[in-house]
Chains A and B, each alone.
Chain A
């Protein structure tokens, strides 16, 4: 029986801005098991980073978070005071960020920054922390690890720094790693190495992994489950095979249109093949948010809800009010009408 590491139910994030209330995340639910990889995909601005920051309790000060449930190892952490939350952070749950070039403090050595969290969460003992740091630097494929400890971030390349970030995230044996586009800033060959490494380590240490990415090729290769986000909501979720083989939501279909064969997508292929722009998420919102870009939209969609509806194969769900067959029928009749 697999163990649930993280369970989120109905996560919303609101940010007051000059023009009103922004709703960048509008009711997201998911769960991650030990040893499982959940990939969150979606185009820029759909709320992926805010979702991951919300789970870590690292949202910007002005942002307001609400959840029905936020369970970590079965315990509610949504209402933990900051002091308790900071004990989990960097300990049992850790995060890898997008920008390896700026995510390390230029004023301190790699060793100091690696050992810091360990010495706060596990033991003050320098020697133990040092051994762990060397062990993990070797694990992430950094040669002459011991001598790297006294180097500063500016002495390392981007790829090496991201390896250091990964080692840093692993220092306290986390049960959950959240990686927010960990390879976007790196060049293509390095990207593949880093992702491969991440997947390998996740397997070895039996951690839950939430990987946020733009890269569908990566998703096809390492995801167990996929969550497709659009405008702050989940529009489709399911096992990786189901998503690639039977994409149900028009947005997912749009994303995948350029990929004829599942699992053979070229590395580095970016989303954004869906024409149109993302709606403004300020103020009261109604109807399906994808309708202005949807080729199948009708008047009904102006008032439609965006609830996830289960599809035939158990875990697979999408948030379109119409089934695949319905959409085909509508499309057929509208082409007829046009003729």
Chain B
């Protein structure tokens, strides 16, 4: 297990290095940053001065190492537009996005796993059909449309919930549902498929032949095995949801990272975009690593492969 963990961590580190290089080079190659900063009216001398000031005239690899070194220390430079430190801007907002992401993931898991399990115990029953309906809707409805419908019904008609901002927990309810619902169908279908397969397996028959109670058979013997692929998928969806929070945060005016990246993209605020892309990418890699380790713990066969 330890050897496996080390091996996977090393691979994750390599991926991170590649990702950081790509992040750096993509944003540097796409446009001349000095032009972006200077704006359309800047004279050639101004541009040259900006190049010197920001160090754009040095070789690219020097710039990369300098940038990466500072990024490791949490320093992403200053926002071109606001002039504030990027690290400060992000640290102010990351809590909101993480809260939203975690709540949405929990919401998705709490809905999808029990529904998937019940649907698997009684395939083609009423519950199974309802679950299927939910899944089909979830897959078919665009997130933004679902979010807008919620705003209209729960926010405007019934006035149950605030529709904009992130001051209280109530502000998170609709965004959580909108974002979490997005992941529910896939997680539910996978739980159902996994449970159906596992419930038909020989070791479940063995467990029943031992006279274990139905709940022990179901939760200890079946769910534990059926949940393994769900864990991996949930990690991937968590990453998607953090990315997807751009739409949700913009709709609900939640001032998180998603909202910030939308703003930064509109203004070509390069340091901010770089920092966000790098943070999300690192997060993704770490998530995948964690889910691999969790899987290895759940399924003892994985770490020997």
Enumerate chain A interface residues (CB-CB to B < 8 A): 56, 58, 86-91, 94-95, 97, 99, 102-108, 116-117, 120-121, 152, 154, 165, 168
Q: A106-B300, A107-B225, A152-B300 are in contact. Are A97 and B206 (CB under 8 A)?
A: yes
CB distance from A84 to the nearest CB of B (A): 10
Residue in contact with A102 in the complex, picked from B201, B207, B210, B299, CB distance below 8 Å: B201
B205 touches A107 (CB 8 A): no
Q: Is B203 part of the contact surface with A, judged by Cβ < 8 Å?
A: yes
Residue in contact with A97 in the complex, picked from B202, B221, B224, B299, CB distance below 8 Å: B202
Question: What residue in chain B is nearest A99 (Cβ atoms)?
Answer: B202
Q: A107-B224, A107-B300, A154-B300 are in contact. Are A116 and B203 (CB under 8 A)?
A: no
B211 touches A120 (CB 8 A): yes
A105 to B201: give the CA distance in the assembly, Å.
9
Query: Which residues of A are found within 8 Å of B299, using beta-carbon distances?
Result: 106-107
Query: Which residues of B are found within 8 Å of A121, using beta-carbon distances?
Result: 211
A163 to B213: give the CA distance in the assembly, Å.
25
CB distance from B98 to the nearest CB of A (A): 31
A108 to B223: give the CA distance in the assembly, Å.
13
CB distance from A289 to the nearest CB of B (A): 28
Q: A58-B209, A97-B206, A120-B211 are in contact. Are A105 and B301 (CB under 8 A)?
A: no
CB distance from A62 to the nearest CB of B (A): 12
Enumerate chain B interface residues (CB-CB to A < 8 A): 201-203, 205-213, 221, 224-225, 298-301, 304
B225 touches A90 (CB 8 A): no
Q: A107-B298, A154-B304 are in contact. Are A89 and B206 (CB under 8 A)?
A: no
A88 to B205: give the CA distance in the assembly, Å.
15
A117 to B210: give the CA distance in the assembly, Å.
6
Question: What residue in chain B is nearest A121 (Cβ atoms)?
Answer: B211
Question: What residue in chain A is nearest B208 (Cβ atoms)?
Answer: A58
Question: What residue in chain A is nearest B298 (Cβ atoms)?
Answer: A107
A43 to B69: give the CA distance in the assembly, Å.
73
Residue in contact with A120 in the complex, picked from B203, B210, B301, CB distance below 8 Å: B210
Question: What residue in chain A is nearest B227 (Cβ atoms)?
Answer: A107
CB distance from A121 to the nearest CB of B (A): 6
Residue in contact with B212 in the complex, picked from A88, A90, A104, CB distance below 8 Å: A90
A105 touches B205 (CB 8 A): no
A165 to B206: give the CA distance in the assembly, Å.
9
Query: Which residues of B are found within 8 Å of A168, using beta-carbon distances?
Result: 206, 210
Query: Which residues of A are found within 8 Å of B304, using beta-carbon distances?
Result: 154
Q: A154-B300, A154-B301, A154-B304 are in contact. Are A104 and B211 (CB under 8 A)?
A: no
Query: Which residues of B are found within 8 Å of A116, using beta-carbon distances?
Result: 207, 210, 212
A88 to B208: give the CA distance in the assembly, Å.
11
A104 touches B203 (CB 8 A): yes
Q: A99-B202, A105-B221, A107-B225 are in contact. Are A56 and B298 (CB under 8 A)?
A: no
- A-B residue pairs in contact (CB < 8 Å), sample of 10: A97-B202, A103-B205, A104-B206, A105-B203, A105-B207, A105-B225, A107-B299, A116-B212, A117-B211, A120-B212
A90 touches B203 (CB 8 A): no
A91 to B212: give the CA distance in the assembly, Å.
10
Q: A97-B202, A107-B298 are in contact. Are A56 and B209 (CB under 8 A)?
A: yes
Query: Which residues of B are found within 8 Å of A91, using beta-carbon distances?
Result: 211
A86 touches B225 (CB 8 A): no
Interface centre among A58, A87, A107, A168 (most CB of B within 10 A): A107
Question: What residue in chain B is nearest A57 (Cβ atoms)?
Answer: B208
A86 touches B213 (CB 8 A): yes
A168 to B205: give the CA distance in the assembly, Å.
14
Interface centre among A56, A106, A168 (most CB of B within 10 A): A106
